[in-house]
Amino acid sequence: MYILLITISCTIQAQEMVDSVGAIIRDAETGEPIQYVNVYVSPTCGTISNYDGEFCLRCLPSETISMSCIGYKKISCRASELPAVIRMQPISTTLKEITVTRGDDIIYQLVTKMQREAKKHRKTEAQYFFRMATQYPGTDELAEAFMTAKSCVQIRDITFHSGSRGQLRGDQLDGPSLTGLGRTNLHIFLRLSPVLVNYDIWDFIFVPADIVLRRMRNLYNISCTVFTQEDGTEISKIIVSGNPAVGDRPILEGTLYVDRRHLRLLRFDGQMRGLQVALYDQARERHYYTGINYTMHIDYRHDHGFTEIANMSGIITKDSIKIRQLLYNLGEKRLRFSQSERVGENMMRAIDKVGFDSTLWVTNNIVKRTLDEERVAFKDPTFWLANKSNYTTAPTAQQRHTDTYLQDAIRQLKDNTMQLQRMPSTPRSY
């Protein structure tokens, strides 16, 4: 009987195959897509929703998928019952308005605690998936890579391991160019956060932590609201807005979401004011300095005992130029890499040097591309590389066709790489 039960169990498991499932997540009240929702199955299987609110991941039909986002009620369902559209309900609660002074214990204790964590875990690293989509007149570009970085409090010391780049060019080539913007070192924006333990290139700006670290009383105006999540977690929503007295110096403003009981930073939504960068005017063949708009979003995790970057996104806009970056923590899944290249001033050169390892991309969950990103990557929005199954048996006719398509796509990527602009000796892009 015992042997029979084992046989039946193994038969059932064999019949349940890993499948790719996906959906779009929308606000139940407004219908708008919700970006960067945490989609979780297990410590080694998860993702986040993309810029259009979509996600896709590979899991067993019987497994439970949980979706969570601050300000929304959590949702869980079996993978086999996942609907095409998921509507998350905003938390309906009465917010109690309170005033937070510049010496408030929450901000002061939060920053000092994160400083201690950064000192203790300064060498701790995490593996990430990185994506950067760029649009400017006549050209769309996409760069993706797997990378390792110091992950406590802020991103530092980036090393790329495998990557690819794609480009689509049109006839409209007039207008602003990214030559002077320093697209080759735009990874510096990944080092930006409300609490910096290593200022590096960002030592010329103000961040919310400066309220405590530099004791500058006139940097920010502060307000706070408190609300409670479904599980009873009391969240402080602290808004820090730059004081006009700061002048023209760049300042990072935004909203911090803090777990009051455990004193944990959960999320930061911010924007930069007063940041100047150099653009290149092709018609006049000269550089000029101008302000850009930069918004950012960071989610944090604490399951390793310290504040760690879980995912991060940023959008840079200036007239007809738009650059969108995304960083996603791969969690407990530890990948093995055959190539490594530490990023200096030129991340594009580092991505090219480590090359493209297709096995990493077909066997691991990554953040789903939007249709526009897919079009740039492979010129075919119906094909998604991460959906290709990892068969152990002889390939089917469909799989052989997919393999041929993949080889053609990689060949196209190599033939359509972005034109690089060698950066000057200084790493600054402003």
- Note the CATH number of domain 17-88: 2.60.40.1120
For residues 191 and 406, the model is more confident at 191
Q: What is the pLDDT at residue 118?
A: 93
In this prediction, residues 165-179 reach a mean pLDDT of: 60
User: What was the pLDDT predicted at 302?
Assistant: 95
Please tell me the predicted confidence (pLDDT) of residue 263.
92
pTM for the whole thing? 0.80
With H, G, I as helix, E, B as strand and everything else as coil, classify residue 100: coil
* Mean pLDDT, range 20-46, rounded to an integer: 92
For the chain, what are the domain ranges? 17-88, 96-360
Residue 154 has pLDDT above 80, yes or no: yes
Instruction: Please tell me the distance from the alpha carbon of residue 10 to that of residue 393, in angstroms, as a whole number.
Output: 19
pLDDT in tens, 256-307: 999 988 999 999 999 999 888 766 666 666 667 788 899 999 999 999 999 9
> 414 falls in which pLDDT band (50, 70, 90)?
very low
Task: Of 54-68, 174-188, 194-208, 368-382, give the lowest mean pLDDT range.
Answer: 174-188
Question: Does residue 413 contact residue 166 with C-beta atoms inside 8 Å?
Answer: yes
Reply yes or no on whether the pLDDT at 226 is more than 70.
yes
Band the pLDDT of 212: cuts 50, 70, 90: confident
In tens, the pLDDT along 363-381 reads 666 899 888 888 787 654 3
Which pLDDT score is estimated for 14? 39
As a whole number of angstroms, the distance between CA 331 and CA 337 comes to: 16
Radius of gyration of the chain (CA): 23
Q: What is the DSSP string of 39-79?
A: EEEETTEEEE--TTSEEEEEE-TTSEEEEE-TTB--EEEEG
- Secondary structure letter of residue 262 according to DSSP: T
Determine the length of the chain: 430
Q: By percentage, how much of the chain surpasses pLDDT 90? A: 40
Q: Which of 350, 355, 360 is nearest to 423 (CA)?
A: 350
pLDDT digits (tens, 9 = 90+) for 85-127: 999 998 865 545 454 444 467 888 899 999 999 999 999 999 9
Rounded CA-CA distance 132/317 in Å is 13
- The mean of the pLDDT values for the chain is 78
